[in-house]
Structure 1
Amino acid sequence: MLSYIRSGIPLKLFRRPEFWVVTLLGALFVITVYADLLRGQQLSGDEFQLVLFALQQAFFLSVIAIATWRFGFAVGFFFWGALGAVTIPYAAIYLTANWHPNLLLEMIVIGLVGLAEVGLINAYEQGKKKLLEYQRHLEDRVKERTVDLTRANLALERDIIERKRIEGELREALAQVKTLTGLLPMCANCKKIRDDKGYWSSVEKYISTHSEAEFTHGICPDCLEKLYPSYYGPGKKKPAG
């Protein structure tokens, strides 16, 4: 508390109406504590004095609770120390006139309850603050993960589209590829080939239909010799190739 007093109460507290409400309650506490002395009456242990003492405790704990809840540990602890210091002279005077060990113990307990109240309320507020910070941290992590997952999904969708495009191109390429497989029924004499529908076609036409091969015509040396014996017969010069 001394370090808090040396550092000074922040000026912004004086601009808040809640601070003045707490201060007013603290002043009422002081008035209830010294009510008998202000009226010039002796401090006696009658029934009215006990009711007044109970009211003092309610004011004391209320002021500390509100100060701690609204302004944090430092302000709540400051009010606890300030109001406790104000109560000490009255307690000394009252106990001198009405000494009882249980009454002293009760005053000490009230002081400890007020101190525990400051600690508990501050711990609750700090825990709530940490919980909110952790919740915001989780929300930020969820947003980051959502962005990452969105990017991953977009990349996956692009990859799927690209794969489908490549598969389409492959199917189209395979559809254009024509190959000849299996046994081909061929005429032993004219060398025509029978297709699946039973029609006979020349070798050139069949192969051109069922493959990518194309034909260009020429005459081999043996046929030249048969067809043109006068030019390419025995003893004549045969063309190269």
Structure 2
Amino acid sequence: MLAYIRAGVPVKLYRKREFWLILLLGVLFVVTIYADFVRGGAALSVDEFQLTLFALQQVLYLSAIAIATWRFGFSLGLFFWGIMGAITIPYSVVYLSANWHPNLFLEMIIIGLVGLAEVFLINAYDVGKKRLLEYQHTLEDRVQARTIDLTKSNLALEKDIVERRRVEGELREALAQVKTLTGLLPICANCKNIRDDNGYWSSVEKYISTHSEAEFTHGICPECLEKLYPSYYGPGKKRSSGQ
């Protein structure tokens, strides 16, 4: 509060309507405090008028401090609390000296503490509200950043899925073009025909052509030439031809 007094009241406060409302409430508070002196009452007795003024004092005192703290922050609220408390002290000394009662003195102290507590509570509420808003903004920024990251991850994942599907399609096409023979082939020991999965027998050429990409071109081996054409490719003819 002392630092606030040394710094002086900021000029921008004079442009605020709330500031003038607080000043008006403060003036009314001072008037109600010293109303007995204004009306010329020498004996400061506790009458009905004085009780009404005392209740009005409390309302004006707490209202001015509440508005100052809520609208302008902790420093100005504490400043008004100190100023209004200092204004009350001279009258309290005079009044209690003429009408001393412990309960009345205790009530004055309680009102002062209530005003101080009001300053701290309103300030704590404002600080908590600001922190909550900051946390919400920070949380929104985090959620937005996380959403962007997840969107990028999803796009990358979708691209990866598309690429995988493309590769799988190419592999399927490649596998569809490749035919291989695996396992045991039932072949006739005499004619060398092969039995297929349906139980039909077919020649070796037909079976291999059906189940692979191989194609046959026919020729005759030397042994078969001797057997089929002995007159031309027999053992003797072969030797003579070799000579």
Measured against the shorter chain, the TM-score band is 0.7 to 0.9
* Kept in 2: contact 1:26–1:60 (CA 8 A): yes
CA deviations on 1:176-226 (whole Å, 9 max, x unpaired) are: 22123442555945x66676585755x445433321123345554445556
* Kept in 2: contact 1:69–1:122 (CA 8 A): yes
Which residue of structure 2 lines up, in the alignment, with residue 13 of structure 1?
13
CA deviations on 1:74-99 (whole Å, 9 max, x unpaired) are: 11100101111111222222223323
Which residue of structure 1 lines up, in the alignment, with residue 138 of structure 2?
137
Match of 1:229 among 225, 230, 233: 233
Number of aligned residues = 236
Structure 1: unaligned runs, 5 residues or longer: none
Aligned counterparts of 2:202 and 2:114: Cα–Cα separation in 1: 113
* Kept in 2: contact 1:224–1:232 (CA 8 A): no
* Kept in 2: contact 1:225–1:232 (CA 8 A): no
Which residue of structure 2 lines up, in the alignment, with residue 87 of structure 1?
88
Larger displacement relative to structure 2 (79-88 or 103-112): 103-112
Larger displacement relative to structure 2 (148-157 or 121-130): 148-157
TM superposition score normalised by structure 1: 0.83
Structure 2: unaligned runs, 5 residues or longer: none
CA deviations on 1:89-131 (whole Å, 9 max, x unpaired) are: 2222222332333322221221111111111111122122222
Q: What one-letter code is carried by the residue in structure 2 that aligns with 1:104?
A: F
Q: What one-letter code is carried by the residue in structure 2 that aligns with 1:18?
A: E
Larger displacement relative to structure 2 (177-186 or 150-159): 177-186
Q: What one-letter code is carried by the residue in structure 2 that aligns with 1:34?
A: Y
Larger displacement relative to structure 2 (112-121 or 180-189): 180-189
Q: What one-letter code is carried by the residue in structure 2 that aligns with 1:234?
A: R
Instruction: State percent identity of aligned pairs.
Output: 68
TM superposition score normalised by structure 2: 0.82
Call closer, same or farther: CA 1:232–1:121 in 2, change over 3 Å.
farther
Call closer, same or farther: CA 1:48–1:198 in 2, change over 3 Å.
same
Aligned counterparts of 1:7 and 1:225: Cα–Cα separation in 2: 127
Q: What one-letter code is carried by the residue in structure 1 that aligns with 2:140?
A: E
Which residue of structure 2 lines up, in the alignment, with residue 183 of structure 1?
185
Alignment partner of 2:213: what SS? coil
Which residue of structure 2 lines up, in the alignment, with residue 211 of structure 1?
212
Which residue of structure 2 lines up, in the alignment, with residue 38 of structure 1?
38
Alignment of 1:92-131 (within 5 A): 92-131=93-132
Aligned counterparts of 2:33 and 2:22: Cα–Cα separation in 1: 17
Which residue of structure 2 lines up, in the alignment, with residue 164 of structure 1?
165
Q: Following TM superposition, by how much is the alpha carbon of 1:171 offset from its aligned partner in structure 2, in angstroms? A: 2.1
* Kept in 1: contact 2:26–2:84 (CA 8 A): yes
